[in-house]
């Protein structure tokens, strides 16, 4: 009888060993990182940099999956419907976590109930750029030109609700100008049309606009931060160029589906902090005009709530709407 009991014990132990792969330490397979905007835009470029560092740290590939459209709702809803096992993450930013609540009549997800906010990662500002043929070289000249030609200027954005969109809506309301908004699904297409002259201006993140300015393909009039950027010290702020108080700052980080295990969230937050502190990521972000800004999950959620209130006021004040 004792021998049978020992044999049964050994068999059960063997079966438990066979089932151990399901209990392997996280992560043990590739992690998909959804970027809810097109390839080549600031979120895509910056997240690819972060993903490469995280892959090296965690020993598994981070696979970027671009899902543009719907003011970031298409990619975000993909995340919402994914298993909360830590193998599907996404980039969440001022659009998906804040401005959509004011601009969209029906946001298909609830930031507080459907998403896990893991860590903020970055802060960046925009450059106001114009087509080289537009006869303006400063912000005051742009304001004067727009007032003389109401409705004849068109500004591009990389989607409704982005800082490229709302930044210009705020500018319009603060300067008493009127310009047509032309939203694009991808910033690369918007930039192509700006360079070609189909649209005349755009206020877009420095990782995208900076190289185009440096190459001479477009002209920069001002920067959206409250102070000049060390990366572009010769470009004046829009605030100092005749629009006092103007400031637009973009931010974004890593999010997951609701109800992610706490230990996985803690692990990811720690890995993101380590990655953002690495020289490779810090220097790459700096070169692109972005600042690394890690946070706790609680700080990230508070940022989203605070910015939701801020941009709701901007939307109401400016009269911005989804076109």
Segment-wise mean pLDDT, segments of 10 residues, the chain, 323 residues: 45 39 76 95 94 98 95 96 98 95 92 98 96 98 97 92 90 94 91 97 93 97 93 95 94 98 98 98 90 97 95 80 62
Helix (H, G, I), strand (E, B) or coil at 279: helix
pTM attached to this predicted model: 0.81
Answer whether residue 10 is part of any domain. Answer: no
**In this structure, what token pair is assigned to residue 288?**
């692109």
User: DSSP code of 136?
Assistant: -
Which of 218, 241, 264 is at the close of a domain?
Answer: 241
Shared domain for 132 and 231, answered yes or no, is yes
Shared domain for 67 and 210, answered yes or no, is no
Q: What is the pLDDT of residue 152?
A: 95
300: which residues sit within 8 A by CB, 6+ positions away? 117, 118, 119, 120, 253
CATH code of residue 255: 3.40.190.150
CATH code of residue 169: 3.40.190.10
Q: What is the pLDDT of residue 317?
A: 75
CB 127 within 8 A of CB 249: no
| Nearest one of 298, 302, 254 to 76, comparing CA atoms | 254
Shared domain for 261 and 119, answered yes or no, is yes
| Nearest one of 161, 145, 143, 147 to 246, comparing CA atoms | 143
Shared domain for 119 and 50, answered yes or no, is yes
Shared domain for 51 and 117, answered yes or no, is yes
Q: What is the pLDDT of residue 147?
A: 97
Which domain covers residue 265, as residue numbers?
29-123+250-318
Q: CA angle at residue 174 from 169 to 176, to 5 degrees?
A: 90
Mind listing the pLDDT tens digit for each residue in 195-250?
999 999 999 999 899 999 999 999 999 999 999 988 899 999 999 999 999 999 99
Answer whether residue 2 is part of any domain. Answer: no
Answer whether residue 167 is part of any domain. Answer: yes
Shared domain for 152 and 87, answered yes or no, is no
Answer whether residue 177 is part of any domain. Answer: yes
Give the position of tokens 């206020």.
203
Answer whether residue 215 is part of any domain. Answer: yes
Count of the separate structural domains present in the chain: 2
Answer whether residue 220 is part of any domain. Answer: yes
């Amino acid at each position: 009888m004792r021998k049978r009991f020992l044999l049964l014990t050994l068999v059960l132990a063997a079966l438990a060993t066979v089932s151990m792969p399901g209990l392997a330490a996280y992560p043990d397979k590739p992690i998909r990182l959804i970027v809810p905007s097109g390839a080549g835009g600031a979120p895509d470029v910056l997240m690819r940099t972060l993903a490469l560092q995280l892959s090296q740290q965690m020993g598994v590939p981070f696979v970027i999956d671009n899902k543009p459209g719907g003011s970031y709702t298409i990619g975000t809803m993909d995340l919402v419907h994914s298993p909360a096992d830590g193998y599907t993450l996404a980039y969440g930013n001022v659009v998906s976590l804040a401005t959509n609540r004011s601009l969209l009549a029906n946001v298909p997800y609830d930031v507080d109930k459907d998403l896990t906010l893991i860590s903020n990662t970055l802060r960046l500002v925009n450059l106001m750029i114009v087509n080289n043929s537009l006869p303006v070289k400063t912000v005051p000249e742009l304001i004067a030109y727009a007032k003389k030609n109401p409705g004849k200027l068109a500004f591009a954005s990389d989607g409704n609700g982005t800082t490229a969109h709302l930044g210009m809506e705020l500018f319009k309301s603060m300067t008493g100008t009127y310009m047509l908004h032309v939203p694009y699904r991808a910033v690369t297409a918007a930039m192509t049309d700006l360079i070609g002259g189909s649209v005349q201006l755009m206020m877009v993140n420095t990782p995208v606009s900076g190289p185009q300015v440096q190459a001479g393909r477009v002209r920069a009039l001002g920067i959206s931060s409250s102070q000049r950027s060390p990366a572009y010290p010769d470009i004046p702020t829009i605030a100092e160029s005749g629009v006092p108080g103007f400031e637009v700052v973009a931010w974004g980080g890593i999010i997951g589906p609701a109800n992610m295990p706490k230990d996985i969230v803690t692990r990811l937050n720690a890995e993101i902090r380590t990655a953002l502190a690495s020289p490779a990521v810090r220097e790459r972000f700096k070169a692109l005009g972005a600042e690394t800004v890690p946070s706790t999950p609680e700080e990230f959620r508070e940022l989203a709530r605070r910015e939701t209130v801020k941009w709701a006021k901007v939307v109401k004040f400016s009269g911005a709407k989804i076109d």
